[in-house]
């Protein structure tokens, strides 16, 4: 149960940091916390292969899985 709690807490922390970095572009402020959570996930066998810099640059075209269909037969 402790492992599950730590994994979930680490993922929630990473989500918060990623959202902050995505809005502000400031990677330095939470870099240590980001790395600590990535390391904790690694110890429990959960790979998180991204660096904090991957989330700093804003995209001009957000990635979305929702597209308009090309015809009426696609679902």
Q: Do the Cβ atoms of 20 and 34 come closer than 8 Å? A: no
Q: Does the pTM of the predicted model rise above 0.75?
A: no
Average of per-residue pLDDT across 42-58:
89
Cα separation of 17 and 29, whole Å? 10
For residue 39 the two structure tokens come to 């390391």
pLDDT single digits (tens) 61-71: 556 566 666 66
pLDDT of residue 4: 93
Query: Would you tell me how many other CB atoms lie within 10 Å of the CB of residue 2?
Result: 6
3-state class (DSSP) for residue 44:
coil
Residue carrying structure tokens 């970095």: 21
């Amino acid at each position: 149960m402790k492992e599950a709690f730590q994994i979930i807490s680490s993922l929630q922390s990473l989500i918060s940091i990623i959202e902050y970095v995505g809005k502000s572009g400031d990677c330095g402020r939470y870099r240590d916390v980001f790395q600590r959570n990535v390391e904790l996930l690694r110890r429990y066998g959960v790979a998180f292969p991204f660096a904090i810099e991957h989330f700093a640059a804003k995209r001009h075209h957000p990635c979305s899985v929702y597209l308009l269909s090309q015809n009426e037969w696609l679902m």
